[in-house]
Amino acid sequence: MKEEFLGYVRPDGTVGIRNQVLIIPGSFEAQKVCEAVRGTVMLNNADLGIGRTPEDRETIARVRAGLGRNPNIYGAVVLGLGEADQKQLAYMRLADDIEASGKPVIRIGENGAGSGWDGIAAASKAAARLVWQASRERRQPVPLSKLSIAVKCGSSDPFSGLAGNPAVGHLFDRVVAAGGIAIFGETTEIIGAEHELVERCVTPAVAKKLMDAVERQEQLAHSIGQDIREMNPVPENIKAGISTLEEKSLGAVHKAGTAPIQDVLDYGEVPTGKGLYFMDSYISHTSVFLGFAASGAPLVLFQLGGGGYDRQTLTGGSAVVAPEMWCTGNPRTAERLADSIDFSAAPVIDAGEPLEQAGERLLQAVLDIASGTMTKSEVIRYIEPLEMYLPGPTF
């Protein structure tokens, strides 16, 4: 079994699996640049921080910079944002943060060409120049230790806990054992199983951060007169056969494997070392994947159950700079969504395949995608409105 992939080695030592130019911010101008210049991606519908708390504006700044620093990005074109009174979101600060990783960054705005047709023209020329430079990059063989991956599960059903998530857990263990980085998230999806994860935290301080994240979610529900255990599982989970939040969470945490948890990350925070990390985030599809990409993951996995997905989806852009790899453990989902699913652990259920064998198949599929094979959702040029995890009120 191979344990290496062909990637793009960046100046800061990280390794990308794609080679793109990022246009920031997501706006009318940025969209027109991406329509005109191949090889570009954009932060679509970027939150400009209007009415946000200072803490949430710092989160927006961290996510934007993290996307620009993601190893899949060769370089970035940063358009002037125009919020001079919001220092956290000043475009020069954003450009500096990305440039610190060694990537080329072109600023559009110093000469009054930050918006309108002048901005489109200037940014298109800048993007075309960077894309041409990026095309000169070549993939190189790199070990599994250079891989960073992240996972979210969704539409959970009994097959998720029995096959799909355990296969991902095996993948995570293999990546972590090799010296790579693996990230899982969704705080609401660990409630009821947090006692298992706390025992795996490397220090009491990390365990406290995990429990604090859970407590914040519990209190948030209580503050509006709700019990999170009555809000979750959602109807599609119940229809698929899951009866309680504890049952759902105990199946969900299988995707984290068995490695020690090194730290609890804030939304969009970059890990400081190697190993397994938990990201404090919530259930939204676009929000979770966006946070993973901002934390430096060049590939994100969506481990899918069965409820509500009976057709090929158009999802393909919620991580902006990182392709989504769709996986499932449900035989029916694997059959009905054959044009969307990249990996199926269904043989564990319908053919008696050992979980370890399924996990090894998943590892090889991941290395293949990391080496250049496109995911099935990646071939669709569909850009979703983005949603960041911003818990503060809007004024």
pLDDT averaged per 10 residues, the chain (length 395): 93 98 78 87 75 90 95 94 66 92 90 69 93 98 98 87 95 98 93 93 98 91 76 66 72 94 97 97 84 97 76 66 94 90 95 97 98 92 77 83
Closest CA to 285 of 172, 152, 130, 376: 152
* pLDDT attached to residue 306: 77
Radius of gyration of the chain (CA): 20
Closest CA to 383 of 4, 126, 46: 46
Cβ-Cβ contacts under 8 Å for 19 (sequence gap 6 or more): 8, 39, 72, 74, 134, 135, 137
Token pair in block for residue 127: 């993007």
Cβ-Cβ contacts under 8 Å for 158 (sequence gap 6 or more): 240, 241, 242, 251
Contact 37, 77 (CB under 8 A): no
* pLDDT attached to residue 358: 98
Residue with tokens 């199926």: 344
Three-state SS for the chain is CCCEEEEEECCCCCEECCCEEEEECCCHHHHHHHHHCCCEEECCCCCCCCCCCHHHHHHHHHHHHHHHHCCCEEEEEEECCCCCCCHHHCHHHHHHHHHCCCCCEEEECCCCCCCHHHHHHHHHHHHHHHHHHHCCCCCEEEEHHHCEEEEEEECCCHHHHHHHHHHHHHHHHHHHHHCCEEEECCHHHCCCCHHHHHCCECCHHHHHHHHHHHHHHHHHHHHCCCCHHHHCCCHHHHHHCCCCHHHHHHHHHHHHCCCCEEEEECCCCCCCCCEEEEECCCCCHHHHHHHHHHCCCCEEEEEECCCCCCCCCCCCCCCCCCCEEEEECCHHHHHHCCCCCCEECCHHHHCCCCHHHHHHHHHHHHHHHHCCCCCCCCCCCCCCCCCCCCCCCCC
Residue with tokens 């948890």: 261
* pLDDT attached to residue 129: 97
Domain ranges of the chain: 20-134, 142-370
